[in-house]
Amino acid sequence: MSAHKIPLAGVIGYPVAHSKSPRMHGHWLKKYGLEGHYVPLEVKPENLETVLRTLPKAGFVGANVTVPHKEAALEIADVTTDRATLIGAANTLIFREDGKIHADNTDGYGFFENLRRGAPDWDPASGPAVVLGAGGASRAIITSLLSAGVPEILLTNRTRIRADALKQEFGARITVIDWVQAGNVLEDAALVVNTTSLGMVGSPELRLPLDGLSAKTVVTDIVYTPLKTRLLQVAEEAGCHVVDGIGMLIYQGIPGFERWFGQRPEVDEEIRRIMLA
Ligand code: ATR
């Protein structure tokens, strides 16, 4: 007879000290009175596979993976969801009873849930989305926007070839715009998303000319330090509906928490406050 086991989960990164996930999952475990623990796991890239194969033997039911392990985790996994495959990276792992590692990517889901709830009147089909940036976050966001039925994505990145590569991969609904031209397409946008690190504390400011923004556009930013970035500030002044980025981080954590600990957590002001503290 196997003894009663307390489920363990954690976030694997290198470094990992900055991660807010332990705080979030710890809060939910306490709030719902669940048995379980969620810990930060600092793992060097060369040890990732060994650690992933070992954790289930130590009582872990799953893990989040963050920088720089997201692509490697997808490679190592035995089973992958379609969205993780499309994005080309994993952020949520489930260690199955049969020993297989199941990899999902909930970043696009987290982005989209935050946007949908923050801007309930925004209709994905209503018009083009301008996406700033072509890195890992952008891949997840583009995937979620395309699957939600956004008719066209105007994609712009400082390094144009990265945007071209995403067009190659994601196809006809993507139009690549030169970084210096980005200000000129804002007017037509139903949605503007910043997926770059620009505007984050410690990073340069997003220097895009924003005077083309009109009040009909929904504007969102994945940067959440500060919560109200210059992009969101200027957009708000232009009368746009704005959605801040902290919710993306919260919503991306929900599918994992539910699978590991058996309870779907609610997103409320309290968790937003805790994550921003
Ligand atoms: P992530 O996985 O968080 O998206 P990433 O893959 O390093 O991280 O992507 C960072 C994004 O921010 C990229 O679009 C990057 O543009 P480049 O592809 O040209 O590097 C963008 N970015 C970062 N610093 C930037 C800067 N100073 N000016 C313009 N874009 C910047």
pLDDT, tens digit, for every residue of 116-133?
999 999 999 999 999 999
Give the number of other CB atoms < 10 A from CB of residue 127. 16
How many residues would you count in the chain? 277
Q: Parallel, antiparallel, or unpaired: how do β-strands 101-104 and 79-80 relate?
A: parallel
Q: Which atom of ligand 1 is nearest to the CA of 133?
A: 14
Tokens of 81: 């969801």
Is 40 within 8 Å of 30 (Cβ atoms)? no
Cβ atoms of 138 and 156 closer than 8 Å = no
pTM: 0.97
Mean pLDDT of the chain: 97
70 is catalytic: yes
Helix (H) or strand (E) holding 51: helix 48-54
The protein residue with its alpha carbon nearest to ligand 1, atom 6, reads 135
pLDDT tens digits, the chain, 277 residues: what are they? 466 899 999 999 999 999 999 999 999 999 999 999 999 999 999 999 999 999 999 999 999 999 999 999 999 999 999 999 999 999 999 999 999 999 999 999 999 999 999 999 999 999 999 999 999 999 999 999 999 999 999 999 999 999 999 999 999 999 999 999 999 999 999 999 999 999 999 999 999 999 999 999 999 999 999 999 999 999 999 999 999 999 999 999 999 999 999 999 999 999 999 999 9
From 71, 138, 197, 203, mutation site for ligand 1 pocket: most ligand atoms within 8 A of C-beta: 197
What is d(CA 120, CA 271) in angstroms, rounded to the nearest whole number? Answer: 20
Structural domains in the chain, CATH included, are 8-105+252-276 (3.40.50.10860), 108-244 (3.40.50.720)
The per-residue pLDDT for 2 is 60
| Cα torsion through 75, 54, 11, 63, rounded to 10 | 70
Q: Which pLDDT belongs to residue 4?
A: 82
Q: Which of 196, 221, 231 to mutate to test the pocket of ligand 1 (most atoms within 8 A of CB)?
A: 196
**Whole-number pLDDT of residue 247:** 98
Are residues 218 and 241 in contact, defined by beta-carbon separation less than 8 angstroms? Answer: yes
Closest by CA position to 168, among listed 139, 132, 194: 139
Residues enclosing ligand 1, CB less than 6 A? 133-138, 157-159, 162, 195-198, 204
By alpha-carbon position, which residue is closest to atom 11 of ligand 1?
196
163-173: pLDDT as tens digits: 999 999 999 99
The Cα–Cα gap between 169 and 183 comes to 25
Phi-psi region of 59 (alpha: psi -120 to 50; beta: other; left: phi over 0): left
Nearest ligand 1 atom, CA 162: 18
- Residues 26 and 190: their CA atoms lie apart, in Å, by 37
pLDDT digits (tens, 9 = 90+) for 49-83: 999 999 999 999 999 999 999 999 999 999 999 99
